[in-house]
Structure 1
Amino acid sequence: MSVLSNERPIGFIDSGVGGLTVVKEAMRQLPNEEILYLGDTARCPYGPRPAEQVIEFTWQMTRFLLKKNIKMLVIACNTATAVALDEIKKNVDIPVIGVIQPGSRAALKASETGRVGIIGTIGTVKSGSYRHELQEKAPDTYVSSLACPKFVPIVESNQFSSSVAKKIVSQTLAPLKKEKLDTLILGCTHYPLLRPIIQNVIGQQVTLIDSGAETVNDVSTLLDYFNLNNYEQSEIKARTFYTTGSPKMFKDIAGEWLNITNLNVSHIDLGGE
């Protein structure tokens, strides 16, 4: 491939701001890469929506970024990965990666007792994708899944450090505390923003797995495999963000999480509900 093609950006898509947790890790691990991010905040959360609708929304985001000439697509959303990854992989001609396989691998590596928990959206938990991945690789793994539908709205409304967040997380995770887990997968890319609270509630003895951060390791491997690394040295790499919702709210959360001022955030429309 030409050098020019290697300088194309990596595209990241998510139902909202959650995928920024993946972008943060990408900026740390892959500082030479340009990033295009699209968060469908106007239609977030995806978790309670029917699978067919999530697939359609994921395609809308994918088509938008393909027009921007991305060299790789990261589906930085567990719900979208669970229902749309395979279809999109088969129908586009660039590498596509989701967040479930890397998170499952990391959990199995971390667990010493084989008792693994998964927290995610209703859609992700209902799909059984994590359970399938875990038990396919290690059939004896005990898996406990819990849908946490209130978590994404907390993050999207920028309340992830609030007392309300602490109360909701504590109430929601109560059933998992009885499961004697040693590893818990944060099966939604929004959840790392709640990580300190989740860790405090579930206990320090439980290892938390950030699927999004683990995914960036796979992105790095794929860049090497397809010879797509950007070796062009420059002071500042382009980080461009699109949202279907409020650019101001997106900028507030993204700026704080990524520790970047003057974020380049644009509003776009992808279609109706």
Structure 2
Amino acid sequence: MADEHAIGFMDSGVGGLTVVKQALKQLPRETVTFIGDQARLPYGPRPSAQVREFSWQMATFLLKQDIKMLVIACNTATAAALPDLRAKLKIPVIGVISPGSRAALKASHSKKIGVLGTEGTIKSHAYRDAILTKDPDAQVIELACPKFVPLVESNEYRSTVAKRVVAETLRPLQTSGIDTLVLGCTHYPLLRPLIQNVMGPDVTLIDSGAETVNGVSFMLDYMDIANTQATKTYPDRFYTTGSADQFAAIARDWLDQPNFHVSQTTLGGDR
């Protein structure tokens, strides 16, 4: 039976598009409905209770669009709100941290793994805990990168400023001996070439968002809710609580969709 409902994706801003990009590639028949809460980003410095509240508002917005699965395409929100959303919702809810942790352990030979994330994600130690639960012998070095999300959201991720900020931020990791580095925020893959350049060719970068789509694909088959029609039934829909123009500028470039369209919307109690 073909389930033609959309898969919902939510993020604090444009970062979740790195997950959507993989979904469009790997699951071309599935419809995407996306909400980015740009008006209230960054989520990283916010208290986890507030991130949970905002996550619930985004989830509620997507549920009204009749989605069949929810992907929390945001590491900060996954760390703060995944158990809460799973307990409250009847549909499958997938976060980005577990798939990223699994992929990091698979890729690492030395078992020395670095994790980049927002202040909220790093403070929660969600990646460290997930990695050590799977392999207690692993060594995890965590690094908060508070300047990365603003670089991406202001569309400066290819600038010389970005190059300098990335180099300065990653300096502590350069002599750490890690062989694998988790991009523990869905905004970070847009900075991937700069991060790889600083860390060198011997460090494997793990894109948690891309790994998550493998999990989405598995879950669609396992729950028997994949769209088995020959093509997409409904068009993809994108919403932002911030500037539609700003969002579209990055999305057109990143998704390689010159006709990309995004609608501006508000969530409960925007602030």
Under a length normalisation based on structure 1, what TM-score does the superposition of the two structures give?
0.97
Q: Give the Cα–Cα distance (whole angstroms) in 2 for the partners of residues 197 and 253 of structure 1.
A: 17
Q: Please state whether the residue corresponding to 1:241 is helix, strand or coil.
A: strand
Within 5 Å, give how 1:104-123 maps onto structure 2.
104-123=101-120
Within 5 Å, give how 1:133-148 maps onto structure 2.
133-148=130-145
| Structure-1 residue corresponding to 2:72 | 75
Q: Give the Cα–Cα distance (whole angstroms) in 2 for the partners of residues 111 and 83 of structure 1.
A: 27
| Structure-1 residue corresponding to 2:270 | 272
Within 5 Å, give how 1:138-177 maps onto structure 2.
138-177=135-174
Is it true that 1:203 corresponds to 2:203 in the alignment? no
Instruction: State whether residues 99 and 212 of structure 1, in contact with CA within 8 Å, keep that contact through their aligned partners in structure 2.
Output: yes
| Structure-1 residue corresponding to 2:227 | 230
The Cα shift of 1:234 comes to 3.0
Alignment equivalent of 2:259, drawn from 250, 258, 262? 262
Q: Please state whether the residue corresponding to 2:174 is helix, strand or coil.
A: helix
Q: Cα deviations across residues 59-116 of structure 1 (Å, max 9, x unaligned)? A: 0000000000000000000000001000100110000000000000000000000000
| Structure-2 residue corresponding to 1:215 | 212
Is it true that 1:50 corresponds to 2:36 in the alignment? no
Instruction: State whether residues 114 and 180 of structure 2, in contact with CA within 8 Å, keep that contact through their aligned partners in structure 1.
Output: yes
Identity of aligned residues (%): 59
The Cα shift of 1:264 comes to 2.6
**Counterpart AA for 1:57:** F
The Cα shift of 1:263 comes to 1.7
| Structure-2 residue corresponding to 1:20 | 17
| Structure-1 residue corresponding to 2:33 | 36
**Counterpart AA for 1:97:** I
Q: Give the Cα–Cα distance (whole angstroms) in 1 for the partners of residues 243 and 160 of structure 2.
A: 24
The Cα shift of 1:186 comes to 0.1
- CA change 1:89–1:253 in 2 (3 A) is same
The Cα shift of 1:237 comes to 5.3
Instruction: State whether residues 239 and 264 of structure 1, in contact with CA within 8 Å, keep that contact through their aligned partners in structure 2.
Output: no
The Cα shift of 1:236 comes to 7.9
Q: Please state whether the residue corresponding to 1:158 is helix, strand or coil.
A: coil
CA RMSD of aligned residues (A): 1.0
Give 5+ residue unaligned stretches, structure 2: none
Give 5+ residue unaligned stretches, structure 1: none
How many residue pairs are counted as aligned between the two chains?
A: 270
Alignment equivalent of 1:87, drawn from 73, 84, 88? 84
Q: Cα deviations across residues 3-38 of structure 1 (Å, max 9, x unaligned)? A: 3xx100000000000000000000000000000000
Q: Cα deviations across residues 205-256 of structure 1 (Å, max 9, x unaligned)? A: 0000000000000000000011011011237851110000000110000111
**Counterpart AA for 1:272:** D
